[in-house]
Amino acid sequence: MDPIHAWLGVHWGVFVGLTLVAFGLAAFMTGQAVADGWKPPWVAVAYTPLLGVANRFLDWSMFGGPLVSGLGFLVEVGWMAGVALVAHRLTMTHKMTTQYPWIYERTGPFGWRERQGG
């Protein structure tokens, strides 16, 4: 038994395909949607346990994993929260620098600053 299966209750392929890719994309879209509504980043993190419950259910119903796995749930929600936070920050940076280009300039993919001078 591989370590991922022992810790999370699912095989590594299921973990990569379902959790990292499919639900990672869902978490990314959640972060973008929250940022598009000008809400703070903690709102995006607050949605990730719901994604974790859906992920656990699909692990159980489609692949025979355990429905309740504390460590698995924490790892999955942690991954999704991180992805949602990254998406939120990327989206906020894009919004601030494209909607207010006369005030802000991009300093990188995750930041902006006030324009200096005129």
Does 116 reside within a domain? no
Does 101 reside within a domain? no
Q: 10 Å Cβ neighbour count for 104? A: 18
Q: How far apart are CA 108 and CA 50, in angstroms?
A: 31
Does 95 reside within a domain? no
Does 57 reside within a domain? yes
Q: How far apart are CA 38 and CA 88, in angstroms?
A: 10
- Number of domains present in the structure of the chain: 1
Q: How far apart are CA 101 and CA 13, in angstroms?
A: 44
Whole-model pTM: value is 0.91
Average pLDDT of 81-104?
96
Does 112 reside within a domain? no
Residues 9, 59 contacting (CB under 8 angstroms): yes
Could you read off the pLDDT of 49-58 as tens digits, one per residue?
A: 999 999 999 9
Does 65 reside within a domain? yes
Does 52 reside within a domain? yes
Pick the closest to residue 31 from 74, 73, 94 (CA basis).
94
Question: Which residues make Cβ contacts (< 8 Å) with residue 61, sequence separation at least 6?
Answer: none
Residues recorded for the chain:
118
**Structural tokens at position 72:** 């698995």
Query: pLDDT at position 109, please?
Result: 92
Does 103 reside within a domain? no
Could you read off the pLDDT of 1-23 as tens digits, one per residue?
A: 677 777 788 888 899 999 999 99
User: Structural domain of residue 51, as residue ranges?
Assistant: 3-88
Query: pLDDT at position 117, please?
Result: 73
